[in-house]
Amino acid sequence: MTVQSVAGDAEIEAVATTHPQVERAVVSDGVIQVMPADTAPQTEFVAQWRRLYDDLYAGDADDSGTASFDGRPDGGAASAGGPMSDFSGWTSSYTGELIPAEQMEEWRAATVERIRGLRPSRVLEIGVGSGLLLWHLAPDCAEYRATDFSPVTIANLRSRLKSSGVPWASRVHLRAAEAVETDRFPEGYFDTVIINSVTMHFPGHGYMRRVVEQALRVLAPGGRLFIGDNRDLSLLPEFVTEIQRTQHPSAAPAELRDRVDQAVAGHEWLLLAPEYFVATARELPDVAGVDIQLKRGSQVNELTSFRFDVVLHKGPAPVRSLTGVPRLPFAGRPELTAELVRRPGEELRVTGIPNRALLRLLASAAAVRRGEEPPPAQEEAGLLPEDLHLLAEQLGRRVVVTGSAQPGEMDAVFLSAPEEEPLTDLYEPREPLEPASHHVNYPQAAELAEHVRRFVAERLPGSDVPAVEIVNALPQPTDGLRNLEELNGSRS
């Protein structure tokens, strides 16, 4: 490599790093790899989502056509299910059509059950929306405070509560506020904070971290932060492959692969891997434990395939670690049933269970990656998390089901402990675990990449500016910066 080309890379790195939204930049293999700054302006990104939700729920009020969560029209089926089941906006990412109401009801019932298991009484819900959870949880709570960044959403919910005449409405308090604005609530006040199906709208790790830290602040010791319906970053290729396949059924394999690559790189939702939460629990001293579970549901759909629920337990409080529960590799459903019958009351972690909600999606994404036709759909092998719950119920056992660091597999831990016992170490990440910031994407990546490229090109006229790639992490220290220092030294 010549001194000239090294200097070129170093200069590009140095210039890119002066962009206000860039933490660090490294030129590698002809690409500028950029790590975004945590303080990158997020206001406009959040404001765009707020406008979308204001429009969605304004549509609710006048019953005209409305926008869905991904910005597509949903045909104005605003509140067909009544105020308690307003699933407007819940459209399929694959087809853009509304997700069937019975699938949404199942999703909601499972979420409500999961949160009820936390014994909520003094609750804060962040991003309450139309109140899908509130209508079911608030009647049994001593106090239910809820916020949403969309004032229209809050106004609608307030008027629906008022006109419903429910006696518990006086225990519900609503306020328009962003997820990061929980500072008005007193420290250590709530026993449960709920953030369900909201994280995908956050602009990045920095914002997410602030939301989690502030939610922990308002929780009492022993309190639970339920962060539900997170989209799994580790399954992003499978998710976008399914979207692209559905929307472009006659695309040739090479075209499909290009579409998937572009959709992965420019994905505009915030996705978090389960590892994100394990790392968060290790990084934040207030967190005593983390419980990550797959969603229940009898249908295979994007809600059951790609999303998971998390509970962060605030310390100091006793939390039961599942490390050390005896392990058994999965050998088939009949074998599992026989083993559970043979060992009544014994605790057991069954590992490597093939997840039926994922097997076809993984095979399809792998084929598209190889530039091949996706395999035809066939009779699915494996089990759903729901099958394991039903099996446990039949046998009078309790089970918790989590994903696995091995794609397409899950672990089921059969427990003898009561439901309310707080758990940790259910999900087992690959060790050593990288920091949380490495397990999250950057939803504004495409936009930032374009800004940085233009920024560098304007400041280094005449030079060939490489493509920009947004990454979560970069090795320390950068060779480029060292080389620039050497070069500057040799120039002076």
- Residue 470 sits at the vertex; the CA angle it makes with 464 and 472, to the nearest 5 degrees, is 140
Residue type, 443: P
Instruction: State the burial class of residue 133 (Cβ atoms within 10 Å of its Cβ: 0-12, 13-18, 19+).
Output: buried
Among 67, 172, 179, 353, binds ligand SAM (CB under 6 A): 179
Cβ contacts of 432 within 8 Å, gap of 6 or more: none
178 interacts with ligand SAM by CB under 6 A: yes
Cβ 93 to ligand SAM, closest distance in Å? 12
> Is 208 a binder of ligand SAM (CB under 6 A)?
no
Residue 33 DSSP SS3: strand
318 - beta bridge partners? none
Query: Are the beta carbons of 160 and 131 closer than 8 angstroms?
Result: yes
Neighbours of 3 (CB within 10 A): 11
**Candidate list 45, 49, 185, 427; residue touching ligand SAM; CB under 6 A:** 49
φ, ψ for residue 165 (rounded to 5)?
A: 70, 15
CB nearer to ligand SAM: pick between 88 and 355? 88
Distance in Å, CB of 156 to ligand SAM, minimum: 10
Nearest-CB residue for ligand SAM:
129
Q: What span, in angstroms and rounded, lies between the C-alpha atoms of 28 and 25?
A: 10
How would you classify the pairing of strands 423-424 and 22-28?
unpaired
Which pair of structure tokens corresponds to residue 200? 């995908």
- Alpha helices by DSSP H, listed for 415-444, are none
- Smallest separation, CB 304 to ligand SAM (Å): 15
**Helical H runs in 266-383?**
274-283, 302-306, 333-342, 359-369
Where does residue 119 fall: left (phi above 0), alpha (psi -120 to 50 degrees), or beta otherwise? Answer: left
Using rule CB under 6 A, residue 132 touches ligand SAM = yes
Q: Is there binding between residue 297 and ligand SAM (CB under 6 A)?
A: no
Residues 261-290 that bind ligand SAM (CB under 6 A): none
Q: Binding ligand SAM by CB under 6 A: which of 129, 385, 429, 443?
A: 129
302 within 8 A of 200, measured Cβ to Cβ:
no
Residue (153 or 244) nearer to ligand SAM, CB: 153
| Local structure of 187: helix, strand or coil | coil
Closest approach of ligand SAM to the CB of residue 393, in Å: 25
Amino acid present at 14: A
Chosen residue from 28, 42, 182, 197 binding ligand SAM by CB under 6 A: 197
Among 22, 46, 240, 399, binds ligand SAM (CB under 6 A): 46
Beta carbon of residue 105, minimum distance to ligand SAM (angstroms, whole number)? 12
Q: How many residues bind ligand SAM (CB under 6 A)?
A: 20
Among 133, 311, 328, 368, binds ligand SAM (CB under 6 A): 133
Q: Shortest Cβ distance from residue 109 to ligand SAM (Å)?
A: 12
Annotate each residue in 140-159 with x if it binds ligand SAM (CB under 6 A) or - if it does not, as one string.
--------xxx--x------
Q: Which of 35, 110, 198, 208 binds ligand SAM (CB under 6 A)?
A: 198
Interface contacts to ligand SAM, rule CB under 6 A: 46, 49, 53, 69, 127-129, 132-133, 148-150, 153, 178-179, 196-198, 201-202
